[in-house]
Structure 1
Amino acid sequence: MFNYNFKILASAIFFKYMGISLYTVAAMMLVLDLTHNPFYSGVALFAVSLPACFGFLIAPLVSRLNYKKTLIICECIKFIFLTVIICLSLINYNSVVLVIIMMFTIALLSQFTYPIESTLIPIILEKDNIIKGNSIINTIRESLRIVFLGVAGLTVSEIGPTFTFIITAFGFMITSLLYCLFRNININLAEAEERFKLKQITVNYTKDIKEALGYVRNSIIPYIVIGATLANFFAGGMLAALPDFSLTKGGEQFYGYYMMSEAVGMLIGSLISPQFKKIPFGIICISASLLAGVFWISTSFLPSFVSVFMYGTGFMFLAFINIMIFSSIQQQVSVEMVGRIMALISSFASISLPIGSLLGGYIATSIGSQYSIIFGGVGMIIFSMMWTFNLKLRKLPNIEKIKFISN
């Protein structure tokens, strides 16, 4: 049913996400270990989050590239960066600046590889197998994220960030070698180059943005953009302080537990959210954001493992909101505008997260990481209050009846 190229892609993603999951925890903990200052955790999260702000600009450019070569080169660069950090660490030359630069570079390269991996599915699979293929790839990603985030904290605490990087580098190397085995996966590059000349990209992008802004001007979508931006801003503040906060709850391994709890919560929330589609959309957003805020605030006060559970449960409620919002837009917005509206919301939300991470790091340094976690919870309660006091938002019906755009 699945051909040679799909098996190569699935195998490569397995090794890649095994490494990335371990690296995510090890890199943040290494920054904290080198500086003993949670503000630099905020700077590191800022560096990791910033490339996502440019994703909407990178995606059109990716279509001009040779897919196979781009995937191989990106994974090789990741391997080289990690190897340099490992070698410097082994000779006791540790630089937080170099680590943060590495984190930024790896995050930036992911903005190139992720769209290509997604684009390859319809290229290498028959139409009847595309949905099942996407499901398999997403299952591999999420399953590995949950499993390896859970063990990453223990791995870092037992063998240290440097040796954890060696495992990650091995994953990147294997991924690069697997990508070398792809056969005939590129589209007609001559046609792609003609369609995506820089001048044409600029003209098309400006036109798309103007049309998207005009389309949503008299709708409730601007409220959703504001809400998503605020939620990401406060979440960024909370995530920046999480490495330092985890140390107060029991050690480095707890950072992995918190990250795993977040992943599990998001997965559960995504799976069960369709069961609530008959409930009014306004009530869901108000209730879920309020509960997420309360659970995150309680995270800062409760004992270690209970705190981990509360943290993940808060993200389960956040997943409710995400799924409902994006499902509603997919159902109610015209097909040709869905991608542009999604990009609009994602762009604003992406910009606010790195800014929030800097503030969260500053709060953690000034008065304690516990207050950065409270900061994130308070943000979700503010989100809930915004919807509560806006009659139009509070009265929104369920997603099958909601009207985003005024005709």
Structure 2
Amino acid sequence: MKQILKNFNFVILLLGRSLSNVGSSLYSVAAMWLVYELGGSSFYTGLALFLTQMPAILQILLGPMIDRFHVKRLLVGTQMLQVVLLLIVPVAHAFGILTIAVVLTVMPVVSLCNQFLYPTQLSLLPKILKKEQLTKGNSLFAVAYQGTDALFNAIAGLLLAVVGAIAIFYINSLTFLLSAALLMLLRIPFTKMAEQQSEKPSARAMVTDYIGQLEEGITVLMHPFFRNLLGGVVFVNLAGAGMFAVLPAFSAAHGGPEYYGLFLSTAGIGVIVGAALVSVLKLDRIKVGRLYAGVIAINGVCMVVLTMIPNPWVSILLFGLAWLPAGIINVSSQVIIQSAIPSHLLGRVMAAVMGISAGIAPVGALLGGSVGAILTSDAVILISGIIMLIVAVIWTFNRTMKKIPAVKDLTPETFQLG
């Protein structure tokens, strides 16, 4: 660990990433709350979440593009662009021309900038760290990512209550400016575009090859087990995104902006704790169908009970518990794919899973916001909880899911993919 922290480039990347996460956490909470204040309806928060999540779909295609840019310039450039974009909102407010359309236009562009940041930084790690340091380096990045999110989501909620959303946009701009200044200190040798083009295939060829691999990955996912698993995950992700779309309205009805930040924070903590519990409780020894059905049932019960509890602090606790299963499933799913898919198919299957996951969340956000505008935020969360429980019941009695062994016992031969 000490050797990694003596690596100048790594420390700069880690600090830059942490500052970017601080800015992103503050911004996402402030922007969603501002959309709710300006629009006064869950429809607009659902639309905002839809617009900000759509650029994530592009992340699975960004590899060829990222490889063709000088990474230091790309990192600094995207940070500076966000500084300018985030200032548009408070400047428009100062001139009395701020509308919900302005915020909804800025949000997806800021989100698009962020899609370049994390994969670009991760692509640098093998170039600045020794092979034996990569595990620790990636772990530090993950902790920085999840930890700052959990902490500053809560802080953002408190700042909303004290100084308001507009003031937070100024703070956002400052954090991204500081991040850009840090990243300018990176000592990365410049590689000319001509040299890159001579060594690598064209972006078009790489994207074409990626699409072919994606099709192969989807073919593997047509195995009965993965088909049943992904079928349930589609509905789980739709319900989860729908809940986050109405969370500003739910928080406003049960307390105020500070509670919105706390809901987001406890959800992040729940995911972190859930991921840790996989190894602590040795959950990889439980049969996959039983494990997945059990944890999704916990989520469903928490969501249903949450809508019946008037106390906001109990609701916040239940919301955090509801997202423990997300951490458990995230870790378990990665291990399932890494254990059960042959190495030559691993990349394309992961790409297919990323593509499916990235495409589901925006749809769920738009549906959740629309239903919330017609009914109530409580109704959306209740419906989402019921969907989780239905998926848990189906997974419990599904014959294919019941036959699959524990995660630790999975091999390519389990699915006849070896």
Partner of 1:214: 219
- Tell me by how many angstroms 1:389 deviates: 3.1
Cα offset, 1:355, TM superposition: 1.0
- 1:146-295 correspondence runs (5 A): 146-185=150-189, 189-190=193-194, 192-194=196-198, 195-274=200-279, 275-295=282-302
Q: Which residue of 2 aligns with 1:333?
A: 341
- Stretch moving more, 259-268 or 337-346: 337-346
Which secondary structure does the structure 2 equivalent of 1:94 belong to? coil
Partner of 1:370: 378
How many residue pairs are counted as aligned between the two chains? 407
Letter in 2 for 1:23: Y
Write out per-residue CA displacement over residues 321-346 of structure 1, whole angstroms, 9 at most, x where no aligned residue.
Answer: 22212211111211232222122112
1:128 equivalent in structure 2: 132
5+ residue gaps, structure 1: none
Query: Mean alpha-carbon deviation: is it higher for 137-146 or for 70-79?
Result: 137-146
Residue type at the aligned position of 2:336:
S
Name the counterpart of 2:321: 313
Superposition map of 1:377-392 within 5 A: 377-392=385-400
Q: Compared with structure 1, are the counterparts of its residues 9 and 97 closer, same or farther at alpha carbon in structure 2 (3 Å cutoff)?
A: same
> Aligned partners of 1:389, 1:190: CA distance in 2, in Å?
58
Pairing partner for 1:99 from 90, 103, 109: 103
Secondary structure of residue in 2 paired with 1:65? coil
Q: Secondary structure at the match of 1:338?
A: helix
Task: State the Cα distance separating 1:166 from its structure 2 match.
Answer: 0.9
Aligned residue identity for 2:400: K
Tell me the amino acid that sits aligned with residue 123 of structure 1: K
| Aligned counterparts of 1:160 and 1:196: Cα–Cα separation in 2 | 49
Q: Bigger CA drift: 138-147 or 285-294?
A: 138-147
Partner amino acid for 1:250? G
Contact 1:225/1:349 (8 A) holds in 2? no
- Residue 48 (structure 1) shift: 1.0
SS in 2 for 1:261: helix
Q: Where does residue 300 of structure 1 map in the other structure? A: 307
1:345 and 1:11 map into 2 onto residues whose CA distance is 30
- What is the distance in 1 between the residues matched to 2:377 and 2:179? 36
**Alpha-carbon separation, structure 2, partners of 1:401 and 1:188:** 48
Give distance in 2, aligned partners of 1:367 and 1:260: 26
Work out the CA distance in 2 between the residues paired with 1:169 and 1:196.
Answer: 37
Percent identity (aligned) = 27
Q: Any conservation in 1 of the 2:339–2:410 contact (CA below 8 Å)? A: no
Structure 1 match to 2:81? 77
1:53 corresponds to which residue? 57
Gaps of 5+ in 2: none
> Aligned with 1:400: secondary structure?
helix
Conserved 8 A contact 1:219-1:406: no
How many angstroms does 1:282 deviate by?
1.0
Q: When the two structures are superposed, what TM-score results if normalisation uses the length of structure 1?
A: 0.96
Contact 1:228 1:345 in 2 (8 A): no
Runs of 4+ in 1 over 6 A off after TM superposition: none
Q: Check the 8 A contact 1:149/1:259 in 2, yes or no.
A: yes
CA gap of 1:284–1:105, structure 2 versus 1, over 3 A, is same
The 1:368–1:219 alpha-carbon spacing in structure 2 relative to 1, beyond 3 Å, is: closer
Q: Which residue of 2 aligns with 1:396?
A: 404
Alpha carbon RMSD of aligned pairs, Å? 1.7
- Aligned letter for 1:312? G
Question: How far apart are 1:386 and its partner, in Å?
Answer: 2.6
Structure 2 match to 1:349: 357
Output the amino acid matched with 1:291: I
2:163 aligned counterpart, secondary structure: helix
Contact 1:246 1:255 in 2 (8 A): yes
